[in-house]
Amino acid sequence: MSNPFRDELVARARPETCTVVIFGATGDLTHRKLIPALYNLAVDGDLPAGVQILGFARRDWTDDYFRESLGKVNREVSRTGHDDAVWGPFAESIHYHQSEFQDTGGYQRLAERLEEIDRRRGGAGNRLFYLASAPEFFDDIMQHLRDAGLNEEREGCWSRVIVEKPFGTDLPSAQHLNQVVNATFEESDTYRIDHYLGKETAQNIMVLRFANSIFEPIWNSRYIDSVQITCAEHFGMEGGRGGYYDKAGAMRDMVQNHLLQLLSLVAMEPPTDLSADGVRDEKVKVLRSLRRWDTPEEIAANVIRAQYEAGHVNGKPVVGYREEDRVDPESMTEAYVALRVLVDTWRWSGVPFYVRMGKRLPKKATEISIHFKDAPDVLFNALPGGVPGGNVLVIRIQPDEGISLRITSKLPGTSLRMEPVKMDFHYASSFGKSSPEAYERLLLDAMAGDATLFARRDEVEEAWRFVDHIEHAWHASGTPPPMASYVAGSWGPKEAEDMLAATGNDWRRL
């Protein structure tokens, strides 16, 4: 049975109607991201008819209270605004289920409730479980879903699970989490969400590389000198975030997932097709090819970790990392990390990928810059001073999404003077319409069974394998690399500058 009226209607995989069960439904993620994303899909007419939402959480709330609470936040944060005419019927599809995560009876009642929803829908229905709770509850939730039989496919209907990051805190915990999840759901029904992959510009990396014929021939070590991936954040540990962050650090919080995903997209070989596994097969090969440094000394030379000291951000004084709320005053957790990564493949041999992420930097920006090799040392490069600046292709992920290319041009005049100029494409200038939020795209993809923008088990584990050997040198070796420092509001520690200077490079000024 299929729906012929769907054919050729929209250029994307077809999302199927389902019941979305959100664990941790009273939390911030549900209120600020998931429900607004589902609501915006309804506003745009993209949400399949009959989708039901069932919030599962410990608090003693009712359907009405839950809806009211969600509506209040949606009014503040929804991308498309809040329209009561749409919210009214949409809210009718939202329900609340109170239970402890460890309560067996709660899952039996959940099963009954889902069956009741299915009955009203007229038969077995698809189920999409969303783990938005704290990770320590994942074991219990998976176990109980399995015991209640809620993970099983029935009468041609699927059951899928979306897992929110963090996917573990190191390789063993990630492997444990994967085992727990895959003991309940097949890998093909498991969707590990990394919202960076849902961003328009991240999706555009593959389009830029493989839908244009001019880039791929020069996308290799013959023409590219280095690649930089920067994720700068101007905020620190506001809103009690220090408690979580001081246990994680920049490497685990951002590099292991978001930045290594971006690196994979930049460095991957062309996939054989655009299927989820076609793309993810190539991404995981990149992660397997990342060079591991063998000694703490090698790691010290190639990975810089740092904490910020008191300084100024946006003209306001801010405290140092160790003085932040809920941060250990003796903390050895990095708020900044810079890495020199080598991808040991034929294509990238000898090309360093410089990756940096830091808190309390001057501004918020995430971008990838591809630095091309200089023109040969003849003609203009043979002149005194040479050619100022090389060619740089920049892919801006956020904010101000866009792409720019720096080229060298002659200044008007009778003398020969050259200056770098920038060709700049801004999404906001060319496409006035706002892009959907990453969660909108990703939720639809999960309903459609398209896992391309989700992390596969082996990707997650390979990324942890790379990160763990650095974490081990930091925290478990007898000669740990030092913790550098930088003034809040600056672009990071001097050691990170020196790391690039040693190879004749410098960080791109954002």
Give the residue numbers marked as catalytic. Answer: 258
For residue 193 the two structure tokens come to 């969400």
- Kindly calculate the radius of gyration of the chain based on its CA atoms and give it in whole angstroms: 25
88 touches other proteins by CB under 8 A: yes
State the nearest-atom distance from the C-beta of 1 to other proteins, in Å. 5
CA neighbor of 18 nearest in space, from 134, 154, 139, 135: 154
Indicate which single residue of 275, 295, 429, 477 sits in contact with other proteins (rule: CB under 8 A). 429
85 touches other proteins by CB under 8 A: yes
CA neighbor of 401 nearest in space, from 370, 371, 434: 434
Per-residue contact string for residues 23-62; x = within reach of other proteins by CB under 8 A: -------------------xxxx-xxxx------------
5 touches other proteins by CB under 8 A: yes
Indicate which single residue of 60, 89, 136, 509 sits in contact with other proteins (rule: CB under 8 A). 89
Interface with other proteins: number of residues (CB under 8 A) = 40
312 touches other proteins by CB under 8 A: no
State the nearest-atom distance from the C-beta of 148 to other proteins, in Å. 23
Distance CA 260, CA 152 (A): 33
Residue 489 DSSP label: T
Stretch binding other proteins (CB under 8 A), from 174-182, 248-256, 337-345, 423-431: 423-431
Nearer to other proteins, 157 or 487 (CB): 157
State the nearest-atom distance from the C-beta of 444 to other proteins, in Å. 12
Determine the straight-line distance between the first and last CA of the chain, rounded to whole angstroms: 53
| Chain Cα centroid distance, residue 409 | 36
Nearer to other proteins, 6 or 59 (CB): 6
376 touches other proteins by CB under 8 A: no
Stretch binding other proteins (CB under 8 A), from 4-12, 183-191, 194-202, 457-465: 4-12
Pairing of β 483-487 and β 303-309: parallel
C-alpha count within 13 angstroms, C-beta hemisphere, residue 233: 14
Residues 107-126 that bind other proteins (CB under 8 A): 120-123, 125
Indicate which single residue of 1, 214, 378, 379 sits in contact with other proteins (rule: CB under 8 A). 1
Indicate which single residue of 217, 412, 430, 509 sits in contact with other proteins (rule: CB under 8 A). 430
Those residues whose C-beta lies under 8 Å from the C-beta of residue 369, and which sit 6 or more positions away, are: 227, 228, 230, 392, 393, 394, 395, 508
Nearer to other proteins, 214 or 379 (CB): 214
* Distances 218 to 221, 264, 367 between C-alpha atoms, Å: 8, 17, 20
Indicate which single residue of 39, 90, 138, 464 sits in contact with other proteins (rule: CB under 8 A). 90
379 touches other proteins by CB under 8 A: no
Indicate which single residue of 211, 428, 501, 502 sits in contact with other proteins (rule: CB under 8 A). 428
Match 């550098």 to its residue by tokens: 484
Q: Which amino acid is at 293?
A: W
4 touches other proteins by CB under 8 A: yes
Indicate which single residue of 8, 60, 136, 273 sits in contact with other proteins (rule: CB under 8 A). 8
* Distances 72 to 5, 34, 78, 92 between C-alpha atoms, Å: 36, 14, 10, 15
CB atoms within 10 A of CB 191: 25
Indicate which single residue of 379, 433, 478, 504 sits in contact with other proteins (rule: CB under 8 A). 433
Per-residue contact string for residues 120-159; x = within reach of other proteins by CB under 8 A: xxxx-x----------------------------------
Match 């769907």 to its residue by tokens: 6
Indicate which single residue of 315, 376, 385, 432 sits in contact with other proteins (rule: CB under 8 A). 432
Indicate which single residue of 65, 215, 223, 431 sits in contact with other proteins (rule: CB under 8 A). 431
Pairing of β 418-426 and β 402-410: antiparallel
Indicate which single residue of 72, 292, 364, 426 sits in contact with other proteins (rule: CB under 8 A). 426
Q: From start to end of 303-401, where are the E strands?
A: 303-309, 311-313, 316-318, 336-342, 352-358, 365-372, 392-398
Nearer to other proteins, 223 or 431 (CB): 431
Distance CA 165, CA 169 (A): 10
Q: Contact, 210 vs 270, CB < 8 A?
A: yes
The three-class DSSP label of residue 8 is coil
214 touches other proteins by CB under 8 A: no
Nearer to other proteins, 22 or 42 (CB): 42
CA neighbor of 439 nearest in space, from 39, 11, 121: 39
The footprint of other proteins (CB under 8 A) covers 1-11, 16-17, 42-45, 47-50, 83, 85-86, 88-90, 93, 120-123, 125, 426, 428-433
